[in-house]
């Protein structure tokens, strides 16, 4: 059986494979990506300050995006999370964290839905103190238990039973930055 001589020519097989795959890569990945990249912001989002930017790195470091999407679809079940996401929402996000799993709820607009700093601090220290059935990890390594809060300390007002007795829970810089980031997640308004 002959396939145009290809079956005896390893160079031709490899060349054909490389060329076809590269062309398809160009057409299906690189060129569409360039086009998407060119989209301008749909609206001006609140600029993120440097602390929130540090918080975004904590969010990445802890792999939060493996369980939490930032991607609202135009489907009825996604309405609690905000308006449908637009390409412009992700301008300047490196990387954009749309996500593929919702083991926890979507966070695209969490700063609007849950604007309380205290709630987020408690939730990060002990998720089950605020949502008993939650399976989220407790990020205790970003907090310190102190006998009493010093000046300038941000205290996570955790309920009794969550913290070692007689101690106050003080948020470390990463916890504060992470909360700052979460509060910055607000979908910019778009004109209808």
Partner 1 sequence: MRDPGLAPSPSADPATVRVTFEYVAWATVWLLVGTTAGLIASIKLHWPEFLPYAWLSFGRVRPAHTNLVLFGWASLVLVGLSLYVVARTSRVPLWSPRLARVALALWNLTLAGGLATLLAGVNRGPQEYREWVWPLAVMLAAAVLIVGYVAYRTVAARTLPEVYVSNWYILGGFCYLPILYVTSYLPFYQGGIGNTVVQGYYMHNAMGMWFTQLALGISYHGIPRLLGRPVYSYALGVLGFWTNLLFYPLIGAHHFIFSPVAWWLQTTAILFSVGMMVPVWAGTGNLLLTFKGAGSAVRRSYALPFFVVGLIGYGLGSTQGTIEAFRTANIYLHFTNFTVGHSHATMYGFIVFIAWGAVYGLIPRLTGREPSPLAVGVHFWLALVGILTYVIAISAAGILQGLAWVAGQSFIASVIAAEPMWLWRTVGGLLMAGGHVVFAVNVWVMRPQRVVVPAPASDAVGMPA
Binding to partner 1 (CB under 8 A) within 115-174 occurs at 127-128, 131, 133-141
Backbone angles phi, psi at 179, to 5 degrees: -65, -40
Query: Which tokens hold the place of 81?
Result: 């999370």
Binding to partner 1 (CB under 8 A) within 21-60 occurs at 21-22, 24-25, 28-30, 32-37, 39, 60
Residue 8 contacts partner 1 per CB under 8 A: yes
b (16+ CB within 10 A) / e for 93-108: eeebbbbeeeebebbb
- Nearest approach in angstroms of CB 77 to partner 1 is 4
Q: How far apart (Å, rounded) are the C-alpha atoms in residues 44 and 42?
A: 7
Cβ closest to partner 1, residue 128 vs residue 146: 128
Query: Which tokens hold the place of 32?
Result: 């569409």
Query: Of the candidates 47, 95, 151, 192, which one interacts with partner 1 according to CB under 8 A?
Result: 95
Query: Of the candidates 43, 46, 49, 101, which one interacts with partner 1 according to CB under 8 A?
Result: 101
């Amino acid at each position: 059986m002959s396939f145009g001589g290809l079956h005896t020519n390893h160079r031709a097989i490899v060349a054909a494979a490389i060329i076809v795959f590269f062309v398809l890569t160009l057409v299906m990945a690189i060129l569409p990506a360039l086009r998407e990249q060119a989209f301008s912001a749909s609206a001006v989002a609140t600029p993120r300050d440097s602390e929130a930017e540090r918080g975004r790195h904590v969010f990445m470091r802890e792999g939060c995006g493996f369980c939490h999407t930032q991607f609202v679809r135009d489907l009825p079940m996604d309405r609690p999370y905000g308006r449908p996401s637009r390409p412009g929402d992700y301008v300047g996000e490196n990387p954009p964290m749309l996500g593929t799993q919702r083991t926890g709820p979507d966070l695209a607009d969490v700063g609007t839905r849950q604007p309380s700093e205290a709630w987020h601090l408690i939730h990060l220290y002990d998720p089950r103190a605020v949502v008993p059935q939650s399976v989220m990890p407790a990020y205790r390594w970003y907090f310190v238990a102190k006998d009493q809060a010093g000046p300038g300390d941000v205290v996570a007002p955790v309920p009794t039973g969550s913290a070692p007795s007689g101690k106050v829970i003080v948020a470390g810089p990463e916890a504060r930055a992470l909360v700052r980031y979460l509060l910055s997640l607000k979908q910019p308004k778009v004109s209808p």
